Structure 1
Amino acid sequence: MTAARHDAVEVIAAKRDGHVLSDSQIDWVVDGFTSGEVADVQMASLAMAIVLNGMEFPEIARWTDAMIRSGERMDFSGLSWPTSDKHSTGGVGDKITLPLAPLVAACGVAVPQLSGRGLGHTGGTLDKLEAIPGWRADLTNEEMLAQLEDVGAVICAAGAGLAPADKKLYALRDVTGTVESIPLIASSIMSKKIAEGTGSLVLDVKVGSGAFMKDLDKARELARTMVALGKAAGVDTRALVTDMSTPLGLTAGNAVEVAESVEVLAGGGPADVVDLTVALAREMLSAAGREDKDPADVLASGGAMDVWRRMIAAQGGDPDAALPTARETTVVTADRDGYVARIDAMAVGLAAWRLGAGRSRPGEAVQATAGVTLHARPGDAVRSGQPLMTLQTETPERFERALAALDGGYDITDAAPSVPESPVLERIV
């Protein structure tokens, strides 16, 4: 489709002055930015105008659709399985994709999980899986489809052909202070997920210190916007708003999170990771019309572990290989008797990042062994000198800055705190 002709300055001025952009203005500017006709500086100016003045829902929906149309769309309709996917807005210790994809596949729904890499304090699923010897993230569309049909689950890198306008715009927003806009965040996430072609989608919208959204009302607004965008595009979409004030599970990093995920698949693991994995699995199965199996039972039976092993092996990984461990460690201990009242997710995420688990710029290498392992959770009783967490890295000169990130990042109190039973705060459909 050829968009009507417009002028970049005209579109920027319209949004600067608080007007609603027309469909043809949106189509033209997204197409022009993708092709290079609209300069980066002009799109940056428009993005700032959107940050300041917002967008109405029809604008967001059209913007999302224009970004989808900038590239290819995948099609899973030829599979013998129904499909469902999950997207998390990112957090600390968020390894949920790893046990979730094989669990949902073991229940009869295929999971085409196109994942990304970490940037800053939030970890990347692909970085975690690359800690497994031999595992590869890059698959062709043909390989992905074949694995979905055979195994039922795939976790791999998104191809360059999906929503290229979003990829270009995301890089620009990252360096121009225009990331924090619900219309731009929602359209960025949903353009990729809708282009991916999944039949249904469950969103895990994080809120709290370790999440992008710190405020519950903002997280709720983002979740509602994305659910509405999915439904407008014909994709059965629902969301869970989940707590990210405390790290998920007991690990934040790469290999350490894989190890914890395998514990969950083996029927163990931390309760919060198990609870969220099962809650998301139930939503995915419901959205795909397959509620005949209880994922909690399948997880306990070992069925999901079987799929995990096949999924890892299909992508060149050795599911039996020992995961790498760090050469250098240091332990943070309790300075008094009492109860752990708080462990701040952002502090732990920053520490893991500074240890080498994350990257400052796209393309930087990460350490497979870097990370933080917690030995206590909020609500646990501890004694003075007892280990609270172990920091792991290949480069011990990183410890000083990692420890600085943890300064003030946890509290020990005389009285036992009240601890939420589940990380799930709200369900939005």
Structure 2
Amino acid sequence: MSSDNILSIPDLIAKKRDGLELNPEEIQQFIGGIKTRDVQDCHAGAMLMAMFLKGMTEGEICSLTTSMRDSGERLKWPQFRGLVVDKHSTGGIGDKISIPLAPALAACQLKVPMMSGRGLGITGGTLDKLESIPGYRTQLTDEQIVKLISTVGCGIFSQSPKLNPADRYLYSIRDVTATVSSNALIISSILSKKAVEDLDALILDVKYGISAVMKTPELAENLAHSLYKVSEMLGIRTYCYITEMNNPIGYCIGNAIEIQESIDLMKYKSGHSNDLEELVCEQGGRLLLLTDKVKTIEQGREMIRETFKNGSALQKFHDMIIGQGVSETIAKQLISDDESIIGSILKLGDVHYQGISSDTGFIQSIDSFKLGTIVQRLGGGRLKSTDKLDYSVGIRLLKHVGDPIQQNEPWAILYADTDATQRYPKVLDDLTTSLIVSSSSVEPLQRIYKVIGST
């Protein structure tokens, strides 16, 4: 674009406001203006609203994503070409898949630089869960990230100020301008962070349901198709999973309690959650297939499962948390078989409430939105960004969808540190009404609705 044709920032906003397509140079000009401060908060808010209302083509989204990616430094892995992978979820209640998945993939000789996030609304964040481990550091320098990935093979860390600063800035503006739910802006935010990681393959898990951003399978599928297309345009081999989020994943909801459950899976203890195992093995197996480590998805699933059975994923988890600041003593205790020591590190609240079934029959559903709200209101999540978390708050499910249950039988335990009924008067009502029981048998929950991608 010649200097004679360069539009001002207000003119770029007006162009988008009028429903016209911005070319790559114009999008780069706008994102570059964030760094030079030619773009002020009022400009950013107006442009985001124009993008929200008028929509964006896939070409525009790809240009926005690459411009955001290039707004700061990028990780580069020329020495590991073909082996660098990651997974991202749009968020869910009890969604701790990343925590056992990253070490399992590292045990399969893949490299996993997993830049993760914190809780949003009632949804718990992977970093928040990991920070319930004393000493765990989420903020790493680029040099520390490179060392961790080169030696251990995996790391789960936060976005540093040098990586993708445009996304951090725009997200803060989206949050106060009611533009968070724009598909175009969701896609560019997710994929710009993943593109910074210099990935060879990526799994995207798009949730739908009462506690997800996308409430229906159709809305989730629409987002997943666009995520897939833009990711492929960026040169990242990608599969998108559309998964159910009306019911919690696994047996545990909270911070410390989800770390406990993740460790139980990595130890392959009897009684661990089948749906958690299914999702971890499925998504990990797909990444092994995308990187040509296996020839079939079935082989990939079994390769991931074997890392739990033989303890290699657990060892990688041990090495990863040491690499991110945890003492060798605590790391060793967490992978030991002494449940009392593990419980003393990952402490749960002393005040316990039981969810009791009022009916006899079969569990039809467990309301993930109500349970997520309980954990959030009791301090396990944030009501505002500055809130400190109470890692000890959590819910342990004793039953899953499809299980038989008797009247007056406990189906859940709530852990809290103080009188929960004073902090959240609805807590017992919401706990009780989260369970729906059917008089007739119910099929076990099917998490995976659809898979989008091509090998």
Instruction: Tell me the TM-score normalized by structure 1.
Output: 0.95
1:285 maps to 2:294:
no
In the alignment, what sits opposite 1:398? 423
Identity, in percent, stands at 34
Distance verdict in 2 for CA 1:386–1:287, change over 3 Å: same
Structure 1 segment 195-274 matched on structure 2, within 5 A: 195-268=196-269, 269-274=272-277
Q: 1:364 to 1:77 in 2, by over 3 A?
A: farther
- Judge which range, 323-332 or 166-175, deviates more: 323-332
Counterpart pick for 2:438 among 413, 423, 426: 413
Equivalent pair of 1:72/1:163 in contact (CA under 8 Å)? yes
2:441 alignment partner, SS class: coil
Residue 10, structure 1, aligned to residue 11, structure 2: yes
Number of the residue aligned with 1:134: 135
Q: 1:282 Cα deviation (Å)?
A: 0.7
**Alignment correspondent of 2:354:** 331
Q: Distance in 2 between matches of 1:39 and 1:156?
A: 29
Farther-moved stretch of structure 1 (270-279 vs 9-18): 9-18
CA drift of 1:350 comes to: 1.1
Between 238-247 and 186-195, report the one with greater CA deviation: 238-247
Rounded Cα–Cα distance in structure 2 between residues aligned with 1:2 and 1:116: 40
**Equivalent residue, structure 2, for 1:20:** 21
Deviation (angstroms), 1:80: 8.1
Report the Cα distance in structure 2 between the residues aligned to 1:290 and 1:6, rounded to whole angstroms. Answer: 49
- Residues 37, 404 of structure 1: alpha-carbon distance in 2 compared, 3 angstrom cutoff: farther
Q: 1:361 to 1:256 in 2, by over 3 A?
A: same
Q: Give the CA deviation at 1:37.
A: 1.6
The alignment status of 1:423 with 2:455, answered yes or no, reads no
State the alpha-carbon separation in 1 of the partners of residues 74 and 229 from structure 2.
20
Residue from 289, 304, 315 that aligns with 1:295: 304
Q: 1:119 deviation in Å? A: 2.4
**8 Å contact kept, 1:119–1:361:** no
Shift of 1:158: 1.7
| Separation (CA, whole Å) in 2 of partners of 1:234 and 1:145 | 22
1:2 positional shift: 11
Relative distance call for 1:404 and 1:62 in structure 2 (3 A) is farther
Q: How does 1:302-313 map to 2 (within 5 A)?
A: 302-313=311-322
Alignment coverage as a number of residue pairs: 428
Deviations 1:41-70 (A, max 9, x none): 222122122222211111111111111121
Distance 1:333 1:142 in 2: 51
1:404 is displaced (CA, Å) by: 5.0
Establish whether residue 341 from structure 1 lines up as the match of residue 346 from structure 2.
no
- Counterpart residue type for residue 279 of structure 1: E
**Residue 276 (structure 1) aligned to one of 271, 275, 279:** 279
- Tell me whether 28-37 or 325-334 shows the greater mean CA deviation: 28-37
Aligned counterpart, 1:44: 45
Q: Structure 2-normalised TM-score?
A: 0.89
In structure 2, list runs of 5 or more residues that go unmatched.
Answer: 335-341
Partner of 1:186: 187
Partner of 1:168: 169
Q: How far, CA to CA, are the matches of 2:356 and 2:46 in structure 1?
A: 49
Shift of 1:296: 2.1
Residue in structure 2 matched with residue 31 of structure 1 by the alignment: 32
Which of 374, 381, 384 is matched with 2:404 structurally? 381
Unpaired stretches in structure 1, ≥5 consecutive residues: none
Contact 2:402 2:441 in 1 (8 A): yes
One-letter amino acid of the structure 2 residue matched with residue 270 of structure 1: S
- 8 A contact 1:81–1:149 mirrored in 2: no
**CA-to-partner distance for each residue in 1:327-361, whole Å, 9 max, x for gaps?**
22212211122221111211111111112111122
The 8 Å contact of residues 81 and 200 in structure 2, kept in 1 or not, is answered as no
